[in-house]
Amino acid sequence: MKKFLPLFLVALMASASVSAQNLRYGITGAMNLSNYAIEIGGVEYSPDSRVGFNAGFRMEMEAPFIYDGFYFDAELLLSSKGAKVKGEQEGVAVENIVRPYYLELPIHIGYRYMFGSGKVGLFGSFGPYMGVGIFGTNKLTVGDQSSKPDAFSSDGLKRFDFGLGLRGGVQMFDHYRIFIGYDWGLLNISQGDNKINNRNLYIGASYMF
């Protein structure tokens, strides 16, 4: 992984210098269905998913020096993630709805195949993402008592996240993208003894100018 990211960035810069004339910008948005992969004492747990969103700006660069149809894309997103964690504490029901918001930068390499006249096609992409937690809360309910501590407090989540993403979809009439994707967080974002990794399934659309 440490070798993959520098090589990926070098290829991205090469693409920019070779095909800057094919640089395009757009806007993008999606619905997140986020969750956590949690490990406590060697035992894995899967909490309930939480519905959120991501939205922001998108850039695409054609990469014909690799092969016709290849491209690089990068996005700058505000992304709402988290999960609903339920359990018991000394016989009292406990629920924690985690609502962190990240500023994320996914960078993918992709391939698109256009059919017939070129108005409709399929695409797929893969690459790393980096995220920084900017704000968020935990809605913690113990019995009939509720509180909302900071999601990124000293005993909460770490702010920095890193992982890999996979995406596929349909391109229509040059400007429109409809897609579904999945992100695997590779870093442990827990500041405690437990292990927590972000997981996120999303579906959305983009418009390229």
Enter the tokens of residue 32: 């997140």
The closest of 98, 35, 29 to 58, measured between CA atoms, is 29
208 CB neighbour count, 10 Å cutoff = 17
Tell me, yes or no, whether 93 lies in a domain: no
Within a domain: residue 135? no
For residue 146, being part of any structural domain is answered with no
Q: SS3 string of 154-192?
A: CCCECCEEEEEEEEEEEEECCCEEEEEEEEEECCCCECC
Q: What's the pLDDT at 46? A: 84
94 found inside a domain: no
- The pLDDT tens digits for 50-71 are 999 999 999 999 999 999 999 9
Report how many domains make up the chain: 1
Whether 24 maps to a domain, the answer reads yes
Instruction: Answer whether residue 158 shows pLDDT above 80.
Output: yes
How many other CB atoms are found less than 10 A from the CB of residue 135? 12
- Contact assessment for residue 185 and residue 201, using Cβ atoms and an 8 Å cutoff: no
Indicate which CATH number applies to the domain containing 169.
Answer: 2.40.160
Distances (CA, A) of 86 to 2, 56, 73, 94, 131: 36, 32, 38, 6, 26
Mean pLDDT for the chain overall: 91
Q: List the single range of 27-31, 41-45, 105-109, 199-203 with lowest mean pLDDT.
A: 41-45
For residue 50, the enclosing domain spans 4-83+103-129+157-208
In a domain, 150, yes or no: no
Instruction: Give the pLDDT band (50/70/90) at residue 40.
Output: confident
Q: What is the pLDDT of residue 12?
A: 56
> Mean of the pLDDT values across residues 149-164?
95
Examine the pLDDT at 153 and tell me if it is beyond 60: yes
Give the mean model confidence (pLDDT) for residues 10-29.
Answer: 71
The larger pLDDT score, comparing residue 93 to residue 164, is at: 164
Is residue 55 in some structural domain? yes
183 lies in some domain? yes
59-105 pLDDT, tens digit each:
999 999 999 999 999 999 999 999 998 888 778 898 999 999 999 99
| 92-103: b (≥16 Cβ within 10 Å) or e | eeeebbbbbbbb
Cβ neighbours around 172 below 10 Å, total: 13
**Closest to 135 measured CA to CA, from 90, 181, 80:** 80
Is the Cβ–Cβ distance between 50 and 35 less than 8 Å?
yes
Confidence of residue 9 (pLDDT cuts 50, 70, 90): low
- Residue 14: predicted pLDDT: 56
* pLDDT for 45 beyond 60: yes
6 pLDDT above the threshold of 60: no
pLDDT digits (tens, 9 = 90+) for 181-203: 999 999 999 998 889 999 999 99
**pLDDT bucket at 42, cuts 50 / 70 / 90:** confident
